[in-house]
A = this chain, B = another copy of it.
Amino acid sequence: MEHVDTLICARWILPIEPAGEVLERHCVAIRQGRIVALLPIDQAAERYSADRRIERPSHVLLPGLVNAHTHGAMTLLRGAVEAAAYAEWTQQLQRLEQRWMDAEYVRDGAELAIADMLTSGTTCFGDLHPFPEATAHAAAAAGMRACIGLPLLDRPGLWAGSTDEYFVKGLQLHDEYRDDPLITTALAPYAHWAVSDETLKRVQRTADELELPVIMHVNEHRESALSAGERSFDRLHRLGLLSPLLMAVHVVAVQDAELDLAAREGVSIAHCPQSNLKLGCGVSPASAFIARQANLAIGTAGAAGNNDMSLLDELRTAALLARGLQPSATLPITAHQWLRAATLNGARALGLGDVIGSIAPDKWADLCCIDLNRAHTSPVHDVAAQIVYAASRDQVSDVWVAGRALLTDHQLTRLDLDDILRRAERWRQRIHGE
């Protein structure tokens, strides 16, 4: 008998790779935070002795969801700016952030985001926000995995006053988490209008040198597809940024040739359909990108937009839009493909494809468990379709990050949710002058 820390036995397991596989009555064996094996329940009992054996008899176990694009701290402003489309929404939001945001605000907002995400099955997120050290610290303290975007802009902001200061503070944060098991960093030159060619080249050199992902909003709406008369994909190509290191976020206002180019260069796209719809930007041609065999990930963007951070919800919107608006001559994108987008593709986009995103030996045990024993997800003719088209966030019963249970029986194990909600309410009162 081989010893392991934990055996998780589930009615169904979706390992994500091989594609489309549904295992029935299997176990995942975990030792020191990593997956040791994936095998039938009967065999597991013979092969492993475990400190903890967890039975989930009506549940699906799958890799933890990866929210490829977030602005965590925006949770504090969810619902604060409703009756406005993109340009006005941005303006009003920035005015509120300019007035209220500091490191404490970002910490409180990020913790609320982390609670929102863990309770809906997300185990890793790719963030982009000022005061990234506050978000990094909140994630590390919560035991959640995160890829923290280091803002690198030419515009002075609340966090840094100059391009150089952004780079200095950003790289300092990178160094601080260099050996952290949970926190990684990415370079985040916000969007084309925020950075000069020179700064983008500096980003690219730094990314190559440190092998860091680059996160950037690209073509979120029609107006942002051009920079000084040049299409932004052309500009990024000219400056050498189109590569597998780049995660282009949103990509709504895009031409076929640009999708060809992005796919050819190995760029990942973070598809955020609810944010794009709610802010009136439109619909990203996600199916067309998938049809090019390219890496499509899913993100919620900031909760001030759309207004929550459930990746299950986002996934459903993505899948429905693709079926309704982008019928193609080829077969429709399957529920399994969408689950891959929300797990392994997200991990790859954040530079973590080798260590998380699928259930495979040696990967970190970042997992989530969804209970299908509900009126609205029974009977189960098709496990993947029930998750994508019907399951609700409360069906997420458990979440593990590196083998550590952060959600058990629907309850957060390490976070004080009441305290997080109290702090969020205090910010609301302050903002409304109550």
Cα–Cα distance between A41 and B79 once the two chains are bound (Å)? 26
Within 8 A of B (CB), among A94-141: 112, 115-116, 119-120
Does A276 interact with chain B (Cβ within 8 Å)?
yes
**Inter-subunit contact B389/A278 (CB<8 Å):** yes
Cα–Cα distance between A395 and B394 once the two chains are bound (Å)? 9
**Inter-subunit contact B83/A331 (CB<8 Å):** yes
Within 8 A of B (CB), among A285-316: 303, 306-310, 313, 316
Cα–Cα distance between A279 and B432 once the two chains are bound (Å)? 44
Binary contact track A38-65/B, C-beta < 8 Å → 1, others 0:
0000000000000000000000000000
**Inter-subunit contact B379/A281 (CB<8 Å):** no
**Inter-subunit contact A390/B277 (CB<8 Å):** no
Does A194 interact with chain B (Cβ within 8 Å)?
no
A-B contact pairs, 22 of them (CB 8 A): A78-B381, A79-B382, A79-B390, A82-B335, A83-B331, A83-B334, A85-B327, A85-B332, A115-B375, A277-B323, A280-B323, A281-B324, A303-B376, A306-B389, A308-B377, A310-B392, A313-B316, A317-B317, A375-B421, A378-B421, A381-B432, A392-B394
Query: What B residues does A283 contact at CB under 8 A?
Result: 324-325
**Chain B residue at smallest Cβ distance from A375:** B115
A277 partner, pick from B83, B324, B382, beta carbons under 8 A: B324
CB distance from A380 to the nearest CB of B (A): 7
Given contacts A334-B83, A393-B392, contact A278 B323 (CB under 8 A): yes
**Inter-subunit contact B282/A324 (CB<8 Å):** yes
Query: What B residues does A323 contact at CB under 8 A?
Result: 85, 277-280
Cα–Cα distance between A391 and B389 once the two chains are bound (Å)? 17
A residues touching B (Cβ–Cβ < 8 Å)? Answer: 76-80, 82-83, 85, 112, 115-116, 119-120, 274, 276-283, 303, 306-310, 313, 316-317, 320-321, 323-325, 327, 331-332, 334-335, 373-382, 385-386, 389-390, 392-395, 417, 420-421, 424-425, 427-428, 431-432
**Chain B residue at smallest Cβ distance from A319:** B278
Mostly helix, strand, loop or mixed at chain A's interface? helix
Query: What B residues does A76 contact at CB under 8 A?
Result: 379
Most chain B CB atoms below 10 A, which of A78, A380, A395: A78
**Chain B residue at smallest Cβ distance from A81:** B381
**Chain B residue at smallest Cβ distance from A77:** B381
Cα–Cα distance between A374 and B417 once the two chains are bound (Å)? 9
